[in-house]
Amino acid sequence: MNYSVNWFKYRLPNSTEIISGGSQRLLKGFAKGFVIAPFSDPDDGLMTIPFDICNPDSEFKPETSYLPTTTSREDFENEVRTIINSLGSSRGKTVAARVIRVDSNINLDATFDNLCSSYPEAFVFLFSTPTTGTWIGASPELLLRKEGEFISTMALAGTRPYSGQAKEWDEKNRDEQAMVTEFIMDSLMRHCGAVTAGKTYTKRAGQIEHICTPISAYMPPSGIADDFEESYHSRLRKLLTEISPTPALCGSDRMHSLELIRNCEKFSREMYGGFCGPDDIEGITAFFVNLRSAKVSPDAVSVFAGCGVTVLSDPDEEWIETEMKSKTIINKLKISEE
């Protein structure tokens, strides 16, 4: 048996190929393999599961680790009100999050397969290490993809139920998504050239939909100005650290939002809101935001969901939004028959 204490499994959007691997090593920083970064301090917390073993034949079982309990509606709505009060009349946002815990033994492989068939356009992922615990998700949001010298990403924000009909978005959602677009464009311009925003469109993600703006850029193999000799990987890491967590997962003022989140939420987001994905596995480097995700232990699963809060937010509506997002995972969980 090819036993590996650290393992991963993923399927890229619009692909049918499932790639899995693992290692007895967990490396700090970038390496060829599956890269994982937490929500808070992604630079210091960046780690890689090396691609030492391809398609490990050991059975995927979750780590035994701490899972947060369900967030009460009162606690969540108090967080939303605190954020609204902190914004005053300013243009800005902070993301509020909550946890829904399900006390059941989850079949990881069956749940992974169900997510793949249900969400063909999502990045479906499953990874486990003693450091991070076990996480599974179906992310609709690309953080960064590198193909040669070209970089692609997206600004994804705003949420409403999927209707199948073309209609205008309201002011709150348009403004929220514009903040994310501006932030990502500005960040890319400090590290890349030829930064271009594509046509904004409505992107479906299961039974909900978002506003999405594709963004592309060019990162030459050699640095410019004072970082000319800096390695490509080093500059890529700086870019990732600057854009993650984006305002779509944290807030328009990152430091202020992080402080609010630490003070209001009675749980740690851990890997939720960070990013994960392959680095140079079969020639692909692509990192996706860890959202529409859950942390799994042998006898329970904690599903994470968040929403962008602005001065136009209503606590009841934000609660409903997180209900919709959490069902992306909860409705696809497969209970183990053991």
Segment 259-286, tens digit of pLDDT: 999 999 999 999 999 999 999 998 899 9
228 pLDDT more than 50: no
pLDDT band per the 50, 70, 90 thresholds, residue 238 = confident
Q: What's residue 44's pLDDT? A: 87
Segment 74-121, tens digit of pLDDT: 999 999 999 999 998 788 999 999 999 999 999 999 999 999 999 999
CA distances from 183 to 101, 215, 248 (A): 33, 12, 10
Question: How far apart, in whole angstroms, are the C-alpha atoms of residue 140 and residue 292?
Answer: 8
Helix (H) or strand (E) holding 98: strand 94-102
Q: How is 183-212 classified by DSSP, letter by letter? A: HHHHHHHTT-EEEEE---EEEEETTEEEEE
Q: How is 263-296 classified by DSSP, letter by letter? A: HH-SS--TTTTSEEEEESBTTBEEEEE--SEEEE
Alpha-helical regions (H) of 141-264: 171-189, 232-243, 254-264
44: Cβ–Cβ under 8 A, 6 or more apart, which residues?
none
pLDDT band per the 50, 70, 90 thresholds, residue 69 = very high
First to last CA, the chain: 22
177 pLDDT more than 90: yes
Question: How far apart, in whole angstroms, are the C-alpha atoms of residue 187 and residue 82?
Answer: 28
Residue 24's CB: how many other CB atoms inside 10 A? 12
When the pLDDT of each residue in the chain is averaged and rounded to a whole number, the result is 91
CA distances from 305 to 200, 219, 233 (A): 24, 33, 31
Residue 202's CB: how many other CB atoms inside 10 A? 16
Helix (H) or strand (E) holding 153: strand 150-161
Q: What's residue 3's pLDDT? A: 55
Q: What's residue 1's pLDDT? A: 41
